[in-house]
Amino acid sequence: MDLTEKMLERQEIFDGHIIKVHLDKVSLPNGETAFREIVDHPGGVGILAMDEHNCVPMVTQYRYAFGRNVLEIPAGKREEGEDPFVTAMRELKEEVGAVAEEWIPMGKLLASPGCYNETLYLYLARGLTFGDVHPDEDEFLEMQRIPFGELVHRCMDGEIEDAKTVAAVLKAKVLLDL
């Protein structure tokens, strides 16, 4: 069966600095119509970096959408047209002050494919050298290095909730057989 939905009309709702929102009327496979509420997001990257002791630089930041601090791997949005690998190198440097010798792509994630078209590229980074951090001017972060085994436990026991972090930690566990 062809499951394709085709756009019939589009209503532009919001054109923000990060997201754009539109409401589309679409035709369904059975010929009926429906509305789709869609958030366009530029996409980004998440980096699971591991030092020579298998410790991982993690960032805590206030996530206003949830009204609390969230513990995550370093991550950031892509600039328009930017190669995600360039984004990943920049964000690792900005957020935790690290440069990596080895970069291993760990695939893409669709954050929430129902309404939100964010694609996240995951990387494993090793061979780290740490220097100064340079967060964006409206970004306030706390960085700590956490042993990888502890991160796996904290993903499994539900303490770590950020989807890209859970996916990246468990992908790295399987990939590295740790």
Which positions from 105 through 164 interact with its own copies, judged by CB under 8 A? 105-120, 138, 140, 142, 152, 155-158, 161-164
Region from 48-56, 58-66, 82-90, 91-99 binding its own copies, contact rule CB under 8 A: 58-66
Q: For residues 120 and 42, give the distance between their C-alpha atoms in angstroms, rounded to a whole number.
A: 9
Cβ of residue 72: shortest distance to its own copies, in angstroms? 7
Nearest approach, Cβ of residue 129 and its own copies (Å):
25
The residue within the footprint of its own copies, chosen from 25, 29, 95, 176 (CB under 8 A), is 29
Contact 116, 158 (CB under 8 A): no
State the nearest-atom distance from the C-beta of 115 to its own copies, in Å: 6
Contacts of residue 61, Cβ cutoff 8 Å, sequence gap at least 6: 69, 70, 72, 139, 140, 141, 142
Q: Is residue 66 a contact point for its own copies (CB under 8 A)?
A: yes
Q: CB of 139 within 8 A of CB of 60?
A: no
Residue pointed to by tokens 């009926």: 32
Catalytic residue positions?
Answer: 137
